[in-house]
């Protein structure tokens, strides 16, 4: 299930590296629940429609983002949290919540990023950030999603996933999160499998760190 949030903005410029603030707001709305410290079966997009200025992003006509989860109870908890306190940061306030029911994805296998997909793997004392054009990138995506599928009790032997490397939108994006620079992927993916597998990915996101704003797809 997915909710789309329409947000009223002020004239304030929002810092480029505001992702930790957005994550903190999500956690405020969810409250302390059993998602903390566990595998994140949810994802959320970036703020939409920002205009870059020398000091950050300006949203002249408001903004929006979406939050998705495999767990409908988590969506309900999120809505309750927003209704109790609709404020975000820098004067941003939620003005409307739109609920989107799960779509039928049986005839679809191409998905676009709504927040960059982050893949990391530790090799000895070093953490490598994997680019979409790495030969193992698809395998890493599959490995991480399989872990989440196992957590949710979903099985699909036909499941496979890969980056659509030839797409004109394929590229990478540097995201600084709490002072750490991360090289993430702004690249569509091709996902084959059962409709419920595609829907699961659509809700929980792809790659690492979906719980802090990476890997949401549309």
Residue 32's pLDDT band (boundaries 50, 70, 90)? low
Give the per-residue pLDDT at 39: 83
pLDDT at 3 over 80: yes
The residue extents of the domains of the chain are: 2-100, 110-212
2-100 carries CATH number 3.30.70.1890: yes
- Can you spell out the DSSP letters for 62-119? BEEEEEEES-HHHHHHHHHHHHH--B-STT-EEEEEEEEPPP--TT--EE-BSS-BB-
Q: What is the mean pLDDT of residues 145-173?
A: 95
Give the per-residue pLDDT at 7: 97
Give the per-residue pLDDT at 34: 52
pLDDT tens digits, one per residue of 108-148: 999 999 999 999 999 888 999 999 999 999 999 999 999 99
Return the CATH architecture of domain 110-212. Answer: 2-Layer Sandwich (3.30)
Q: What is the mean pLDDT of residues 88-106?
A: 97
Report how far Cα 81 is from the mean position of its chain's Cα atoms.
19
Identical fold for domains 2-100 and 110-212, yes or no, is yes
Q: What is the mean pLDDT of residues 149-157?
A: 96
Contacts of 84 (CB under 8 A, 6+ apart): none
């Amino acid at each position: 299930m997915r909710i789309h949030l329409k947000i009223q903005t002020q004239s304030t410029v929002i810092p480029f590296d505001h992702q930790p603030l957005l994550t903190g707001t999500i956690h405020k709305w969810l409250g302390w629940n059993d998602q903390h410290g566990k595998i994140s079966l949810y994802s959320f997009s970036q703020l939409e429609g920002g205009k870059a200025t020398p000091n950050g992003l300006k949203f002249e006509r408001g903004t929006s983002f979406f939050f998705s989860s495999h767990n409908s109870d988590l969506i309900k908890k999120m809505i309750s949290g927003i209704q109790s306190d609709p404020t975000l940061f820098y004067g941003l306030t939620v003005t409307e919540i739109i609920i989107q029911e799960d779509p039928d994805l049986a005839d679809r296998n191409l998905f676009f990023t709504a927040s960059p997909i982050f893949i990391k793997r530790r090799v000895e004392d070093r953490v490598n950030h994997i680019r979409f054009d790495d030969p193992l990138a698809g395998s890493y995506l599959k490995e991480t999603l399989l872990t989440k599928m196992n957590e949710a009790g979903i099985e699909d032997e036909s499941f496979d996933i890969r980056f659509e490397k030839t797409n004109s939108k394929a590229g990478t994006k540097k995201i600084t999160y709490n002072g750490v620079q991360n090289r993430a992927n702004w690249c569509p993916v091709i996902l084959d499998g059962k409709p419920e597998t595609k829907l699961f990915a659509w809700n929980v996101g792809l790659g690492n760190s979906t719980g802090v704003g990476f890997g949401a797809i549309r």
